[in-house]
Structure 1
Amino acid sequence: IKMAGESTFPDVDSNGSEKNEDVEIIVNVGGVRQVLYGENLNRYPETRLAELINCLSGGYDTIFSLCDDYDPGKREFYFDRDPDAFKCIIDIYYFGEIHMKKGICPICFKNEMEFWKVDLKFLDDCCKTHLSEKKEELEEIARRVQLILDDLGMDASENRWKRYQKCIWKLMEKPESSYSARVIAVLSFLFILISSVVMCLGTIPELQIVDSEGNHVEHPMLDNIETACIGWFTLEYVLRLISSPNKLRFVISFMNIIDAFAILPFYVSLVLTHLGARMMELTNVQQAVQALRIMRIARIFKLARHSSGLQTLTYALKRSFKELGLLLMYLAVGIFVFSALGYTMEQSHPETLFKSIPQSFWWAIITMTTVGYGDIYPKTTLGKLNAAVSFLCGVIAIALPIHPIINNFVRYYNKQRVLETAAKHELELMELYSGEGKIGSSKNELEDLMREGKEHPSWSRQLKVSHSDTFIHLLSDEKHYRTRLQSCK
């Protein structure tokens, strides 16, 4: 028992380190007590727990710089941190690596590792994947929220052209921004459908007319409708290009390239029709015009700009390149093997349809994909057995990668819905806190706050910072910390 006034710290030698290297300490993290030994903690001296072993000789200032509270009688350190994450982090002192428990938010776990001064390199690769995915999600939410905030805010310092440019951009690119923008999006969708229908109707012989040279051409009425649609597409593309904040990114965007390919064939065919006949034969001009008119089918892909489902399908296929590659590899191997076997087995028949192995590729393709046109078929018994095995293997080869592709689509679709909901939730929280607790704040009030934020920087900072469980660090330059009672939803 120590007398009054006697030091409560353990005995130390002349160098300030404890004489007993196997000293034990008690760490209380969120109400969960854990006994730790210096021999294990000193394996990683740069961590916070290892610093606790050597901080006892530095006095209370040093101790409380490392923990929230300290009981000298029990030699117990108190931390108001997440106990579940701490149980995972202390594995580094025993196993040399850390695995994140299922159900813990990766971002919160990363913050816990930073608090305990444990480097992220000790986190296992499987857990790093979850962390990177979560960071990408938060970056996407922050990007969406920032875009909405940029749309709501109007900088008074901008000139009139800049304001007009921003208004046109929202009108043409953001249907959810206003009623007029929704009307324009619906009109664009209808023009795409009308143009596609007109392109199909123009190929019906009964609706075509015969020109002076005896060739069948489209009806003038359909041609006029096509011209009106092209005029709308051209006006839409030019307005979007002029109002685009980044012209280079706009031009090289995939969907904008599709829009350009849907417009250019019309003007190129006009140039070839009126000027090309002077420089080349009329037959060549007609062939070139016909080839360009076929390129009008590219405009059907313009529907993807107005359909979130088509966009989700496109991104899901991008994520499924590996599975699609496996599918093509399985089919390629099967086609080569069964076409070679079919050619070999059918050579004994005098009326064989398998003239060569390359010609047998076509038979193998339509057989493995269970199409079976019947233009090429085996006539020998061995050839028929080979055909049966080939289409059974084809069904299996096609069915194997389908499930992962569907899973990628469902996962990406659900993820997009979650991100959209999270962005809306973050905006609601910003509106709530920026309105000083007025839950009934409307969108107009939020716009007023954005405009007033240019004059009052403090209000703007309040709008960009959401003090909530779903706080996004990327929206603010200030650094905020969570307690163990907060969670990332």
Structure 2
Amino acid sequence: MEGESRFPDVDSNGSEKNEDIEIIVNVGGVRQVLYGENLNQYPATRLAQLINCLSGGYDTIFSLCDDYDPGKREFYFDRDPDAFKCIIDIYYFGEIHMKKGICPICFKNEMEFWKVDLKFLDDCCKTHLSEKKEELEEIARRVQLILDDLGMDVSENHWKRCQKYIWKLMEKPESSYPARVIAVLSFLFILISSVVMCMGTIPELQIVDSEGNHVEHPTLDSIETACIGWFTLEYVLRLISSPNKLHFVISFMNIIDVFAILPFYVSLLLTHLGAGMMELTNVQQAVQALRIMRIARIFKLARHSTGLQTLTYALKRSFKELGLLLMYLAVGIFVFSALGYTMEQSHPETLFKSIPQSFWWAIITMTTVGYGDIYPKTTLGKLNAATSFLCGVIAIALPIHPIINNFVRYYNKQRVLETAAKHELELMELYSGEGKVGGTKNELEDLMGEGKEPPSWSRQLKVSHSDTFIHLLSDEKHYRTRLQSCK
């Protein structure tokens, strides 16, 4: 009968030897001849199951492929042919390598479709996969933060909504016009405070108090007090509105804020109360030391400068290169300082009194600073000095290029992630058919009044169908059913 001719011949036991079976798979228009001898090495994979399903009928066959031609014994798959060419390497070489240009996340999905375990992916390719996962996690986090800012939970009480509004006002300059104004004011106060601190040390702008000591001008002192008042108000509002106060307190930038504010109040207490507990001279020295700590407030600029934040993160990622630089310099300093001390001992007016003292000479020589306070006087000492600064230039130049690359790579990555997050939001807006992602408070109240549920940001996240779909924000399993390339 016609239906019987569609299936392969079988032996006397009702089954064909799997090792002798030859099948043809057509993946995205690319035909490939495969043999059971190779496929059966990994029987849990989809291709190996194709061999065993031939005698199971059409239901079994079409559960594994998109289409089947019984005359040619050809299986059709609407999948990525480039990824498939990499995946079938497992049957010949026992491992898989991704070709350059294939998205790691898309390749992972292809491996899951073909039922190939990720353990067969080579370690070098697993590194790319982990980096892409981190990027998707960052995109998901950014999208979620934007949606949280746009959303408003009507079930929250008035204080919670007010707390969230203050937090956006103080921490998210891009959220509204008043938030941008506050960010600019904070930036100006930091600059003014730093300028006032510098001008207060100019002798012509200082006045003499009743005890004959030079103190800051009252006008500069008043400006300093106003700036500290702003910093204090800003810190208190951010602390009160913070959703996670423990994380807020131990954050590095917030610790800097405390160090920028605290010296003013401590010096104020010492000035008014410390005189009775200790000598006046000690009080003045303590106040002067605390005033020096005001330089910490210049680091507050990093809160408002993307460039400084990028530089900080790039240096954190360059600890290995910075460690190599310090190691090179440490070895060179020790070697050349010891040689310099030894070679200069024959000179009666030597400036190299000891090896530890020679460390200072080696440091300023290898870094090409050369103050000239310590210098060699013998011929061998001068040759040693020439060799030391040449080696210093080479030691400093070697790790610079990787550090610059880390900075550029991180900066470009942040721009790409920001663009990807905006792209996801635009796709969500287009899919929902609305002019915006989230509803306003009145729209939410109308929905609640009609007995409907308010919009769920997590449900809206699931409707994004871009090529870089954020799986981390959805519990559903998504596979590509058409040939797509990662953008």
TM-score of Structure 1 vs Structure 2, range by shorter chain: over 0.9
Shift of 1:21: 1.7
Distance verdict in 2 for CA 1:293–1:343, change over 3 Å: same
Shift of 1:209: 1.2
- Contact 1:453–1:459 (CA<8 Å) still a contact in 2? no
- Contact 2:28–2:80 (CA<8 Å) still a contact in 1? yes
CA deviation string 1:318-359 (max 9, x = no partner): 011000000000000100010111111111111111111111
Distance verdict in 2 for CA 1:449–1:382, change over 3 Å: farther
Counterpart of 1:6 (choices 4, 7, 16) is: 4
Shift of 1:16: 6.2
The worse-fitting range, judged by mean Cα deviation, of 423-432 and 387-396 is 423-432
The worse-fitting range, judged by mean Cα deviation, of 268-277 and 139-148 is 268-277
| Distance in 1 (alpha carbons) for counterparts of 2:281 and 2:239 | 36
| Distance in 2 (alpha carbons) for counterparts of 1:350 and 1:53 | 92
Q: Give the corresponding residue for 2:422.
A: 424
Shift of 1:372: 0.4
Shift of 1:458: 7.8
- Contact 1:241–1:247 (CA<8 Å) still a contact in 2? yes
- Contact 1:432–1:441 (CA<8 Å) still a contact in 2? no
Distance verdict in 2 for CA 1:120–1:225, change over 3 Å: same
Which fold has the larger relative contact order, with Cα–Cα distance below 8 Å and residues 6 or more apart in sequence?
A: 2
Distance verdict in 2 for CA 1:307–1:444, change over 3 Å: farther
Shift of 1:44: 1.0
Shift of 1:467: 2.1
Q: Give the corresponding residue for 1:195.
A: 193
Shift of 1:443: 14
Distance verdict in 2 for CA 1:444–1:463, change over 3 Å: farther
Distance verdict in 2 for CA 1:365–1:459, change over 3 Å: closer
**TM-score relative to the length of structure 2:** 0.95
Shift of 1:448: 10
- Contact 1:70–1:76 (CA<8 Å) still a contact in 2? yes
The worse-fitting range, judged by mean Cα deviation, of 313-322 and 281-290 is 281-290
Secondary structure at the counterpart of residue 350 of structure 2 = coil
Shift of 1:463: 5.8
| Distance in 2 (alpha carbons) for counterparts of 1:198 and 1:433 | 54
Distance verdict in 2 for CA 1:452–1:312, change over 3 Å: farther
Question: Runs of 5+ in structure 2 lacking a partner?
Answer: none
CA deviation string 1:49-82 (max 9, x = no partner): 1111111121111111111111111111111100
The worse-fitting range, judged by mean Cα deviation, of 326-335 and 277-286 is 277-286
| Distance in 1 (alpha carbons) for counterparts of 2:357 and 2:75 | 79
Distance verdict in 2 for CA 1:118–1:74, change over 3 Å: same
| Distance in 2 (alpha carbons) for counterparts of 1:154 and 1:70 | 52
| Distance in 1 (alpha carbons) for counterparts of 2:278 and 2:20 | 95
| Distance in 1 (alpha carbons) for counterparts of 2:185 and 2:324 | 41
Shift of 1:212: 1.7
| Pairing 1:144-183 to 2, within 5 Å after superposition | 144-183=142-181
Distance verdict in 2 for CA 1:197–1:437, change over 3 Å: closer
Secondary structure at the counterpart of residue 5 of structure 2 = coil
| Distance in 1 (alpha carbons) for counterparts of 2:226 and 2:246 | 28
CA deviation string 1:345-386 (max 9, x = no partner): 111111111111111100000000000011110011011000
Distance verdict in 2 for CA 1:451–1:357, change over 3 Å: farther
Distance verdict in 2 for CA 1:362–1:20, change over 3 Å: closer
Distance verdict in 2 for CA 1:45–1:369, change over 3 Å: same
Shift of 1:445: 9.6
Shift of 1:9: 2.3
CA deviation string 1:422-464 (max 9, x = no partner): 1111111111111269999999999999999973558973465
| Distance in 1 (alpha carbons) for counterparts of 2:382 and 2:109 | 65
- Contact 1:465–1:476 (CA<8 Å) still a contact in 2? no
The worse-fitting range, judged by mean Cα deviation, of 441-450 and 276-285 is 441-450
Distance verdict in 2 for CA 1:101–1:439, change over 3 Å: same
**TM-score relative to the length of structure 1:** 0.94
Q: Give the corresponding residue for 1:371.
A: 369
Shift of 1:488: 2.7
Secondary structure at the counterpart of residue 466 of structure 2 = coil
| Distance in 1 (alpha carbons) for counterparts of 2:111 and 2:338 | 59
| Distance in 1 (alpha carbons) for counterparts of 2:235 and 2:450 | 34
Secondary structure at the counterpart of residue 73 of structure 1 = coil
Shift of 1:7: 4.4
| Distance in 2 (alpha carbons) for counterparts of 1:467 and 1:307 | 34
Distance verdict in 2 for CA 1:26–1:364, change over 3 Å: same
The worse-fitting range, judged by mean Cα deviation, of 456-465 and 296-305 is 456-465
CA deviation string 1:265-288 (max 9, x = no partner): 111111122222222222222221
| Distance in 2 (alpha carbons) for counterparts of 1:44 and 1:250 | 52
| Distance in 1 (alpha carbons) for counterparts of 2:124 and 2:299 | 38
Q: Give the corresponding residue for 2:215.
A: 217
| Distance in 1 (alpha carbons) for counterparts of 2:284 and 2:310 | 39
Counterpart of 1:26 (choices 24, 27, 43) is: 24
Shift of 1:10: 2.5
Secondary structure at the counterpart of residue 464 of structure 2 = coil
- Contact 1:465–1:471 (CA<8 Å) still a contact in 2? no
The worse-fitting range, judged by mean Cα deviation, of 281-290 and 110-119 is 281-290
Shift of 1:483: 2.8
Shift of 1:239: 0.3
Question: Runs of 5+ in structure 1 lacking a partner?
Answer: none
Shift of 1:20: 5.3
Distance verdict in 2 for CA 1:318–1:333, change over 3 Å: same
Percent pairwise identity: 95
| Distance in 1 (alpha carbons) for counterparts of 2:451 and 2:470 | 20
| Distance in 2 (alpha carbons) for counterparts of 1:429 and 1:229 | 44
Shift of 1:479: 2.4
Distance verdict in 2 for CA 1:256–1:458, change over 3 Å: closer
CA deviation string 1:85-144 (max 9, x = no partner): 000011111111111000001110000000011111111111111111111111111111
| Distance in 1 (alpha carbons) for counterparts of 2:338 and 2:224 | 50
Shift of 1:238: 0.4
| Distance in 1 (alpha carbons) for counterparts of 2:437 and 2:335 | 69
Shift of 1:477: 2.7
| Distance in 1 (alpha carbons) for counterparts of 2:153 and 2:438 | 26
CA deviation string 1:381-400 (max 9, x = no partner): 01100000100000000011
| Distance in 1 (alpha carbons) for counterparts of 2:427 and 2:203 | 61
| Distance in 1 (alpha carbons) for counterparts of 2:233 and 2:116 | 57
| Distance in 2 (alpha carbons) for counterparts of 1:14 and 1:418 | 62
| Distance in 1 (alpha carbons) for counterparts of 2:140 and 2:368 | 48
The worse-fitting range, judged by mean Cα deviation, of 111-120 and 18-27 is 18-27
